Amino acid sequence: MPLNELNIIADIGGTNMRVAQVDARGNIADITIYACAEHESLSVVLTDFMTKHQLIGKKVNACLAIACPVDKDLIVMTNLPWQFSQSQLKAQLSLNELILINDFTAIAHSIPHLGANQKVQIGIGEVLANKPISICGAGTGLGVANLIPVDTNWHSLSGEGGHVDFAPVDEQEIAILQFLSKKYARVSSEQLLSGLGIEQIYQALSFVKNGEATVLPAKEITEKALANDCSLCIETLAQFCRILGSFAGNLALTLGSYGGVYIAGGIVPRFIEFFSNSEFRKRFEAKGRLSSFNQPIPTFVVTEEQPGLLGASAYLKQFISQQNQANTINQTTNTMNY
């Protein structure tokens, strides 16, 4: 990043917003967490951060990762009463550049920059350089993104992969699907691979085994499973891991993700030991005649606490580099024409 420019990044969720600076070497500093509900708008938060760090009136680039669609000028937050115009926000804060990306795009762009202490490998496999990477993240919902190498850069392919049809692979999963089909006209993978998904797996297994769909919060299900206090909770968490393995394996088959498949989100990092000992990897590889295709593909759990900020920083660095290259080409072309 140019030494004469200042760069800020933000990861904006429904509850908290994290803002930080990025120096010319790409180091992230001054991470500040704001409770979104305590502020009336995004501009108020950014103004506060820029004022505290004496950035007002200076040449500042900003990359904001936000949990909602960003393809239009008017941004309407999904889980917050915030809405704003991208062009007006840029003008209001006198920013040199304002880049908005989806929060899962940011997580995707963090992946190539993770060190050994920011991820945990599950099972076998080795990363092949400059090959596609797939990411899925179970949390409030199920996010999916893919990264493909383009020349020396990474390009994120984002979509709504978490909403593909749930595909059961054994009798128990068929029973779970039948239970959920009475509740939903269509059952997506997100209905099982999320916080709500854990609760719904528990309800379905409770109904299948006991004839009654008992309700229990996901947090309590997970805690009881990890404490070995409830056999149904243990089976629920084990089933969650199996379904996630099948889903992640499908991503690998679809894209040929020899750069690795990464599990992000807020759920799995809470029980990595249980996850490592689960049938996740077995299901990931269990693709019939194509099992040999998935076997060498490595799988990881992302343990980095701030993947959104790390990815926003990487995206901003790449964006500025591409702009500088384009400007250099234009200047050279103009000089030759002159």
The per-residue pLDDT for 189 is 97
Q: What is the pLDDT of residues 26-72, one digit of tens each?
A: 889 999 999 999 999 999 999 999 999 999 989 999 999 998 889 89
Across the range 105-113, mean pLDDT stands at 95
- Please say whether the dihedral angle defined by the alpha carbons of residues 317, 323, 325 and 327, taken in this order, is positive or negative: negative
Instruction: Give the rounded percent of residues in the chain with a pLDDT score beyond 70.
Output: 95
CATH classification code of 115-302: 3.40.367.20
The per-residue pLDDT for 246 is 98
25-29, 63-67, 173-177, 260-264: the lowest-pLDDT one: 25-29
User: Rounded distance, CA 19 to CA 28, Å?
Assistant: 10
pLDDT at 331 over 80: no
Superfamily name and number for 6-107+309-337: ATPase, nucleotide binding domain (3.30.420.40)
Q: What is the mean pLDDT of the chain?
A: 93
User: Rounded distance, CA 28 to CA 317, Å?
Assistant: 12
Please list, in sequence order, all residues whose beta carbon lies within 8 angstroms of the beta carbon of residue 324, skipping any fewer than 6 positions away: 2
What letters, b where the CB count within 10 A reaches 16 and e where it falls short, cover 279-296?
bbbebbbbbeeeeeebee
* Residues in a beta bridge with 147: 133, 156
The per-residue pLDDT for 23 is 84
Rg value, the chain, Cα:
22
Angle at 257 between CA 253 and CA 260, to 5 degrees: 125
How many angstroms separate the Cα of 187 from the Cα of each of 55, 177, 237, 298?
Answer: 48, 7, 19, 28
User: Rounded distance, CA 282 to CA 291, Å?
Assistant: 10
154-158, 163-167, 238-242, 270-274: the lowest-pLDDT one: 154-158
Reported as type and span, the H/E element at residue 100 is strand 97-102
3-state DSSP assignment of residue 59: coil
Domain ranges of the chain: 6-107+309-337, 115-302
The per-residue pLDDT for 337 is 61
pLDDT at 165 over 90: yes
User: Rounded distance, CA 17 to CA 24, Å?
Assistant: 23
Residue at token pair 């908290």: 16
Q: Are 204 and 184 in contact (CB under 8 A)?
A: no
